[in-house]
Amino acid sequence: MVSTLNWILAAQADIAEAVNSAVESAPAEVTEAVANATSTSVSLNWLDWAVIIGYFAIIAGVAIWSSRGQNTSSDFFLGGRNIGWFAIGGSLFASNVGSEHIVGLAGSGANTGLSLAHWELHAWVLLMLGWVFVPYYYTSKVFTMPEFLEKRFSPTARWILSIISLAAYVLTKVSVTVYAGALVFNVLFPDFHLGGLDAFWCGALLTIILTGIYSVFGGLRAVLYTDACQAIILLLGSIFILYFGLSKLDGGWSGLRDFTATHASQYALWHPLSDKDFPWLAICIASPIIGIWYWCTDQYIVQRTLAAKNLTIARRGTIWGAALKVMPVMIFLIPGLIGAALNAQGVIHLPVKGTGIDGDRVFPTLVTQLLPPGLRGLVIAGLLAALMSSLSSLFNSSAALFTVDIYQKLKKSASEKELVFVGKIATTVVVVCGLIWIPIMKQVAQGGGGLYDYLQNVQSFLAPAITATFLLGIFWSRINAKGAVWGLTVGFILGMGKLTIQTFFGPGKLENPAILYKIGEFNAYYACGVLFLATVIVLVVVSLATKAQDPEQIKGLTFSSINKEEVRASIHPVDIVTTLIVVAMILTIYLYFSFWTVGHEPAAIQAAQEAADSVGQFLQ
């Protein structure tokens, strides 16, 4: 029976290999036709358009209402420090979950299953932002993270972080987000053209310009309140994809477990150490380092908590954001996995790329092939919402970094109105730079392992130096300005060096000299841990070798000097209870998906075994 089953599976593999070989060897026109045939475009009816137009009308109204009275830099960049916890938490979630997030996670779910769920369970790091980091940021009354580094260390540390952050925003976050949104627009509206521009460029230009307009005129308050609305749309749209996908999948949730168990080596949450891409130890090392950098030290995220009415509201905003953050595993990753299962059953046809699924087109294809009219329009509105929320946050954060950390340092006599004006100009410049960089980003995304994998690698090399500097700077008063400057500089240079070598050396690339080849093929997530350790060593050695900072200079900025009574006074029992609930949610999801296929015999294999037994009995 087992030998018969092996023969059946081997025959299936041979057939699949023959088909893939035939497609690869076919002329480019034939291959393109096959790929296009798997992606069914769809015409939107009046109900879809009504939902989309209604959504934009509501967003425009919210933006206009919330943008009143933007007269000072505090109003424009921090919403007057008068934002409630619901808006902060919604903005944290919506700013994180952009179009590249939805597109990338669905694609990852279809290709690698739950491998990237570890990043989506960073809700515990978001709790860390509220309970550990925010008290230092909020009580210091800073506008930006580089400004905090100046207070804790020196102006030089502030300059280094400002330049690194601005370069990263323009060259990665803005352009990558726009690219993903344009790709969605291209899949949903393939025949849309305007003035000689195809659907891709129309989507890129229209969305970035519209988002730029309300970011320029609205400031952070408009960004926060529109983000809160968009978070609701994102959740509803993705839940509908999950529901309709499971309803069409043979066996529903049980059928999905069958499919995952059948392909456990590809789709499991934990991969063995022999896995070259996602070994579990490397994930456990890199994930917290990247998470702390992104959620606890990046201006793009932390700026939302600085807009709170007080420290209690800021903490509650992070708790609410953490509760929302546990959802992407179910509403973004799982739909991609469902798409792969539906594709295997022949219910839908996902676009192909080479010999596998084109991950970047999975989510928009699910929208066009699964949802009925009206709901389709709602989800499309959600995709556009994701794009706009991420871009608006990026624009405002970039403007704050340039205006407060660079312009104001160069011109200390600048008035409040001048700072707001410069902030709007800086936002416009970021918009233009993002547009200029798209063609280059498009070429990068079309090669290698895909856009989302590329981003994860970049973050692995960017995060360690910043994470180590903030952690040691807050928890150890002996770390001084020279240690911070050296740590940031060395860590960043080493990280960019690894990224550069990895781009040119490794399997399928240059192989000589051998040392560069070894560095290039070294797993990026292990490298993240090495870079973090190297930065810590530099920080400690240089700080201990030089004079300690004046305790008065860093008063309130370190764990040993902060006013702990004031922090305790901001804590309410409700905050503790809700935090424990979120932690329980995270642990439950981890435990369930770690063991969800154990002891669950796949129905497909069981059916094959029964068929083989029947054949054996017949032959006897």
303-331 mean pLDDT = 87
Q: What is the pLDDT of residues 491-550, one digit of tens each?
A: 999 998 998 888 788 777 788 888 998 998 899 899 999 999 999 999 999 999 999 999
- Per-residue burial over 466-495, b if 16 or more Cβ lie within 10 Å, else e, is bbbbbbbbbeebebbbbbbbbbbbbbbebb
How far is the C-alpha of 309 from the C-alpha of 85, rounded, in Å?
9
Give pLDDT, residue 597.
66
Count helices and strands in the chain by DSSP H and E runs: 31, 2
Give pLDDT, residue 218.
53
In this structure, are strands 352-353 and 356-357 parallel, antiparallel, or unpaired? antiparallel
Q: CA-CA distances (angstroms) from residue 131 to 203, 266, 298?
A: 40, 36, 16
Give pLDDT, residue 354.
67
How far is the C-alpha of 268 from the C-alpha of 249, rounded, in Å?
19
| 445 confidence band (pLDDT: 50, 70, 90) | low
174-199 mean pLDDT = 73
Give pLDDT, residue 18.
40
Amino acid at 551: P
CATH class of the region 34-619: mainly alpha
- Per-residue burial over 402-420, b if 16 or more Cβ lie within 10 Å, else e, is bbbbbbbeeeeeeeeeebb
Give pLDDT, residue 30.
36
Give pLDDT, residue 226.
66
Q: Which of 586, 81, 567, 87 is nearest to 320 (CA)?
A: 87
Q: What are phi and psi of 437, to 5 degrees?
A: -80, -15
The residue that leads in pLDDT, 104 or 371, is 371
Give DSSP secondary structure letters for 211-251: HHHHHHHHHHHHHHHHHHHHHHHHHHHHHHHHHHHHHHSTT
Amino acid at 140: S
369-394 mean pLDDT = 75
How far is the C-alpha of 94 from the C-alpha of 524, rounded, in Å?
27
Mean pLDDT check: name the lowest of 109-113, 303-307, 339-343, 383-387: 383-387
Element (H, E) at 25: helix 2-25
Q: What is the pLDDT of residues 77-130, one digit of tens each?
A: 444 455 788 888 887 887 777 666 777 777 778 888 788 788 888 889 999 999
What is the percent of the chain where pLDDT is above 70?
Answer: 75
How far is the C-alpha of 226 from the C-alpha of 400, rounded, in Å?
19
pTM: 0.77
